[in-house]
Amino acid sequence: MSVQAAKHARQLLLKEYRGVLSTHSKAMPGFPFGSAVPYCLSEEGWPLILISRIAQHTKNLQADPRCSLLVAERGAEDVQATGRLTMLAEAVPLTDETAVEAAAARYYRYFPESRDYHRVHDFDFWVLQPVRWRYIGGFGAIHWLEQVALANPFARAGGGEGEMLDHMNQDHSAAIAHYAQVAGLPPDPTARMVGIDSEGFHLSIGQSIHWLAFPDSCTSPGTVRQALVAMARR
């Protein structure tokens, strides 16, 4: 049961791309402070966020890195009958230049409008390192989970994600449009594939991010290719 719950929790984390970040208020000690943040997942499968140095939640995290991220299914008519995930975490700022460059390359694929924030407007990348997870899959489906995140074998240097994305976006736009159509997503000639992990891939359509699952888990670029070909033939 916990293995299945962890998979559903991870899929929810992958399917969504924004959540409520709650920090310990520095201005009002003892009170939680919530704010909305977009995120994508790091190489480790942890939420990666880009936040302003002058934002209240940044000041809070600098004083106390303990926080939580609440992620819920978008567009749900009854939020209590659908999935939601609370991730208890410690926030860590990225300071190493190589790590910042890797984070920037990944984050701006998902959110290109934020490309110059951390340079022009004093924004910094932080990663939320999980401590524990609380997943609710609907009425009565409640789980405390120790392990949800799954490292992305393709996101690390030399893992092949960038090359696979370039290949799909440059040479297989028709296949990308087909994936979106089969998934019931809105048609958009500018749709792009922005991320690949072992369990699926992310499409950017307009201002939204959508995650589509592979038929089976993939462990190499070769198995990713096989999965994408199979999905294109549906």
| Ordered DSSP codes for 45-104 | S-EEEEEETTSHHHHHHHH--EEEEEEE-TT-S-GGGS-EEEEEEEEEE--SHHHHHHHH
**Average pLDDT over every residue of 149-170:** 94
The residue whose two tokens read 């230049």 is: 97
pLDDT in tens, 15-40: 999 999 999 999 999 999 999 999 99
**Average pLDDT over every residue of 146-151:** 95
pLDDT in tens, 37-49: 999 999 999 999 9
Please give the mean pLDDT across all residues of the chain. Answer: 94
